[in-house]
Amino acid sequence: ARQYTTHSQLPSEHQMVYEMCRKFADEELAPHAGKWDKEHSFPREAVDKLNRLNLFRVACIMMNEYRRISTNVSTQSRNESRDDVIKVIAELGLMGINVSSDHNGSELDALSYAIAMEEISRGCASVGVIMSAHNSLYLYPIDTFGSEELKQQFVAPYTGHERNEKGELNIGCFGLSEPGNGSDAGAASTTAKDDGDEWIINGTKAWITNAHEAGAAIVFATTDKSLKHKGISAFVVPTNSAGFSLGAKEDKLGIRASSTANLIMDNVRIPKSNLIGELGQGFKIAMQTLDGGRIGVAGQALGIASASIDCAVRYSLERKAFGKPISELQSIQNMISKMVVARDSARLLTWRAAQLKDNKERFTREAAMAKLAASEAATMCAHQAIQILGGMGYVSDMPAERHYRDARITEIYEGTSEIQHLVIAGDVLKEYKQ
Ligand code: CAA
Ligand code: FAD
């Protein structure tokens, strides 16, 4: 299959996702992102809108596309194109982006997800992580490995069409890390005990994104610690279960509008049927989930890199020093060039990983490479953006300092950069040993 390298080469559906998310980010996220960051406030309205992204604007974009397609086609195919257009509009929704339409999802592919994550995160990196934790870490494992009963209960109502008793959109979270182990995910100490018709879960999950908003959590727990990673299973735990509580929200350097907190489980009883997949399959479910999740974080990092580039380049054209715009100074041009090269190379890696996933080929190494390169691009671009802005880069009047703070997490979560190197090198060495 063809590997896309520029937005203009993308198929029309992907271009539409790009345009739609880009406009939404410019108009509804970027103007408020600074305030959400300062107030540490969960951007509930914006997250709500992720699912009904101003259909009028989407319709306009689609109708332009329809007009373009329909100039040279017969009446019959014109009507078919129009129907396709309406179908796509009706199905758009970013809080169930990869879920099948049978379970109320948008049924878009991994490439669309990567594109959407970049554009949304360009507007607000906190909204980006809220969206990615929900889609690739919560919905994906249930949708891929769960029973039909679990999908009906914990996927279909979580794709942006149903609300909880407080009238808020249903959101999910993913609990793998623990206070005692993050990188060493196979060392999980949260336990699941078989008790007839129920599992009893005990333990604490640490650093969980969306913890304070989630109606349900994926929890990885061991039924037999002596089996190490083979003893781990994946469960869905409703957050209103007796014995389930939350830690305080972490006070973070960046992505401050998303909540991060401990999930504390004290003899939480869940039905037997809340096991995802097979007993002992949990570690592999976690690893496969993270392979896809790393494409999402790569997209988030690309968005932060792009926001930094936008801010720095625009400023360099306006700001004058020694009688001319600083954009005319070679030092500034070198920085701009380095930023764009890093961002674009990371985007190629990200789209490659997404397309491999869409083609159902192996993509573990490629997703790790994309996440590694994109997170390094994000931190470098945000760093250079502050340099280009000088003093203005260091104060919160401009978004550069927020991008700098937001970028840093992309080198830590969903596997630190050291873990990505371990995954990449491990796969390369395996290839050479064969
Ligand atoms: N897909 C399928 N199976 C996989 C796999 C993959 N990508 N990677 C490993 N496995 C399988 C192996 O084949 C092996 O199977 P067998 O038992 O049948 O042999 C098994 O899993 C164990 O593999 P390893 O020996 O390689 O496992 P390990 O204990 O050495 O750990 C690791 C490997 C890559 C370091 C892994 O622990 C890891 O990814 N750690 C990082 C954890 C992480 O990313 N956490 C993110 C939390 S979520 C988050 O942060 C959220 C957010 O951003 C919002
Ligand atoms: P450690 O594993 O203790 O690592 C410390 C250092 O040692 C790092 O530099 C690491 O790279 C290095 N190191 C460790 N092992 C190796 C090795 N084998 N080789 C080389 N170097 C190594 N987790 C979830 O489950 N769900 C979430 O939703 C979630 N969201 C998060 C949101 C935020 C804001 C944050 C900060 C974290 C989140 N996490 C989440 C947890 C995150 O995935 C972990 O912090 C991360 O995997 C690192 O684990 P750790 O913090 O325990 O660091």
- For 336-356, write each residue's pLDDT tens digit: 999 999 999 999 999 999 999
Average pLDDT, the chain: 91
Integer Cα distance of 99 and 91 in angstroms = 11
Residue 141: the pLDDT is 98
- For 285-302, write each residue's pLDDT tens digit: 999 999 999 999 999 999
The residue ranking higher by pLDDT, 21 or 217, is 217
The residue ranking higher by pLDDT, 161 or 306, is 306
Enter the pTM of the model. Answer: 0.93
- Arithmetic mean of pLDDT, 190-197: 98
Cα(416) to centroid of ligand 2, in Å? 6
**What is the number of the ligand 2 atom nearest to the C-alpha of 184?**
2
Query: Is 298 within 8 Å of 375 (Cβ atoms)?
Result: yes
Q: Is the pLDDT of residue 74 over 60?
A: no
Residue 183: the pLDDT is 98
Q: Is the pLDDT of residue 360 over 80?
A: yes
- For 139-184, write each residue's pLDDT tens digit: 999 999 999 999 999 999 998 778 888 888 899 999 999 999 999 9
Q: Which residues line ligand 1 (CB under 6 A)?
A: 129, 133, 137, 174, 176-177, 183, 185-186, 209, 229-230, 283-284, 287-288, 290-291, 297, 364, 413-415, 419, 422-423
Confidence band, pLDDT 50/70/90 cuts, at residue 71? low
**Ligand 2 test: best mutation among 220, 246, 304, 412, most atoms within 8 Å of CB?**
412
Cα(420) to centroid of ligand 2, in Å? 11
Q: Is the pLDDT of residue 56 over 70?
A: no
Nearest bound ligand to CA 293?
1
Confidence band, pLDDT 50/70/90 cuts, at residue 227? very high
- Arithmetic mean of pLDDT, 220-245: 97
Q: Which helix (H) or strand (E) holds 203?
A: strand 198-209
Cα(47) to centroid of ligand 2, in Å? 26
- Please report, for residues 4, 21, 26, the alpha-carbon distance to residue 69 in angstroms, rounded to integers and kept in the order given: 21, 22, 27
Residue 79: the pLDDT is 47
Name 113's Cβ contacts closer than 8 Å, sequence gap at least 6.
97, 98, 135, 136, 295, 296, 299, 354
Confidence band, pLDDT 50/70/90 cuts, at residue 364? very high
If one counts every other C-beta atom within 10 angstroms of the C-beta of residue 134, the result is: 30
User: Is residue 399 in contact with ligand 2, taking CB distance under 6 Å?
Assistant: no
Q: Is the pLDDT of residue 42 over 80?
A: yes
Integer Cα distance of 189 and 202 in angstroms = 9
Residue 191: the pLDDT is 98
Nearest bound ligand to CA 252?
2
Residue 52: the pLDDT is 63
Q: b/e per residue, 243-267, with b = 16+ CB within 10 A?
A: ebeebebbebebbbbbbbbbbbbee
Cα(172) to centroid of ligand 1, in Å? 21
User: Is residue 129 in contact with ligand 2, taking CB distance under 6 Å?
Assistant: no
Residue 54: the pLDDT is 45
Cα(141) to centroid of ligand 2, in Å? 20
Residue 59: the pLDDT is 53
Q: Whose CA is nearest to atom 6 of ligand 1?
A: 287
- Using CA of residue 344, residue 348, residue 350, residue 351, what is the dihedral sign? positive
**Ligand 1 test: best mutation among 229, 297, 304, 369, most atoms within 8 Å of CB?**
229
**What is the number of the ligand 2 atom nearest to the C-alpha of 173?**
28
- Arithmetic mean of pLDDT, 105-128: 94
User: Is residue 257 in contact with ligand 2, taking CB distance under 6 Å?
Assistant: no
User: Is residue 191 in contact with ligand 2, taking CB distance under 6 Å?
Assistant: no
Confidence band, pLDDT 50/70/90 cuts, at residue 101? confident
Q: Whose CA is nearest to atom 23 of ligand 2?
A: 177
Q: Is the pLDDT of residue 89 over 60?
A: no
Cα(174) to centroid of ligand 2, in Å? 14
Q: Which of 198, 414, 418, 431 is catalytic?
A: 414
The residue ranking higher by pLDDT, 381 or 102, is 381
CA geometry: angle at 358 spanning 157 and 174, to 5°? 40
Q: Is the pLDDT of residue 49 over 90?
A: no
Q: What percent of the chain has pLDDT over 90?
A: 79
Cα(248) to centroid of ligand 2, in Å? 19
Q: Is this complex scored with an ipTM above 0.95?
A: yes
The residue ranking higher by pLDDT, 1 or 204, is 204
Q: Is the pLDDT of residue 321 over 60?
A: yes
The residue ranking higher by pLDDT, 57 or 316, is 316
Residue 62: the pLDDT is 55
Residue 94: the pLDDT is 87
Can 414 be counted among the known catalytic residues? yes
Q: What are phi and psi of 5, to 5 degrees?
A: -120, -20
